Structure 1
């Protein structure tokens, strides 16, 4: 059993550029990565791999293996899957609200594949018992794509429905959810810069 986290730091999260500078965005994605690693480790997964490119630095304090690839996301992950023969959890690095309980429930599933959908049809987490039977295709409606891939390969599928696990942080409004539900380093980082504006209808961010 292992976990792999695709990770991009350099010029990350451009959709947050209206509220965070490039340097701040890079610092922020690093805190989210550290939260995700902490969650996975707390769930009992010891073999944790960060899949990244040479330009992305990994915090020294993280006890993880680093796999370097020059390829794009799909080719990098599929190449990684070809080299392993044990169950693997693929989890995105921008999921600071995921809790150890979610990970435990996912990896203890009896199904061949567990898919955690993200907003807008994406895929936040994939658990694959037999990597040699599966290829990934992220971007676009990857949730439907991964469901179809599993069905074509006659693999049983579980859709793991969780608000916290489905909340990836891409837009400024997503950061409100960190202030509401977060408990880790990402929340500490955001709290230094923002607070919640309760003055009008839906909660929004405002600068401190």
Structure 2
């Protein structure tokens, strides 16, 4: 099997702009990407591809293969799946809480497809044993869509329910989860810029 990570560094993570500058966001997403790659490698995934519209930020990448595709995310991934001759795990690049144990649990599924739902109806990870017979459709409520696609193509689905694997870093409040539950370079980066602010309400981050 192999893993593919869709990735775009240019103008990354605009929803984090209230708390991080463009330069900081681009540095941050690169750290998260490398952390996800390291997690996959530690879990025993030998072949890892990065699918990106440009080489920006990937010029010196040696830990994974870089595949360029300027098309829309869905078109690029579906083209990738069409050419795959082995099971494929599609992993988003903003999952710094993902662990090797999660990856091993996902790929050990006895079902045809294993889906890790993200917040707000998204899809964080999609493991497909027969990729040539499956087409993805991200954006919107992609979790429900991907469940329906599997059902309509006669493939059984397992839902991998995990708070940590299901936490993608998109919004400022997501950084709180990284600060509390995370480790590694992504957390270290955020820890240098923020501190936890604890009150009677929800835990928040405040500038250092």
- TM interval, shorter chain, is over 0.9
Secondary structure, aligned partner of 1:44: coil
Q: SS at the partner of 2:80?
A: helix
Distance 1:203 1:59, change over 3 A: farther
Give, in angstroms, the shift of residue 63 of structure 1: 1.2
Matching residue of 1:54: 54
Aligned equivalents of 1:22 and 1:66: distance in 2? 23
Structure 2 counterpart of 1:203: 203
CA distance in 2, matches of 1:154, 1:61: 38
Aligned position for 2:92: 92
Q: Shift of the alpha carbon at 1:58?
A: 1.5
TM-score normalised per structure 1:
0.98
* Shift, 1:199, TM fit: 2.7
Tell me what 1:8 maps to. 8
Distance 2:182 2:60 in 1: 23
Give yes or no for contact 1:34–1:62 (8 Å, CA) kept in 2: no
User: Could you tell me how far apart the structure 1 residues matched to 2:200 and 2:191 are?
Assistant: 20
Shift of residue 184 of structure 1?
1.4
Distance across 2 between alignment mates of 1:156 and 1:58:
36
CA distance in 2, matches of 1:107, 1:73: 23
CA-based RMSD: 1.0
Partner SS, residue 40 of structure 1: helix
* Cα distance between partner residues in 2 of 1:150 and 1:41: 27
Structure 1 portions without partners, runs of 5+: none
Whether 1:141 and 2:135 are equivalent positions in the alignment is: no
1:24 aligns with 24
Alignment deviations for residues 65-99 of structure 1 (CA, whole Å, 9 cap, x no partner): 00100101000000111111100000000000000
Distance 2:10 2:139 in 1: 19
The alignment's TM-score, normalised by the length of structure 2, stands at 0.98
4+ long deviations beyond 3 Å: none
CA distance in 1, matches of 2:59, 2:185: 13
Structure 2 unpaired stretches of 5+: none
SS at structure 2 position matched to 1:165: coil
- The residue correspondences of 1:72-83 to structure 2 (distance < 5 A) are 72-83=72-83
Work out the CA distance in 1 between the residues paired with 2:129 and 2:10.
32
Question: Hey, what's the Cα distance between the residues in 1 that align with 2:45 and 2:157?
Answer: 22
Helix, strand or coil for the counterpart of 2:165? Answer: helix
SS in structure 2 at match of 1:163: coil
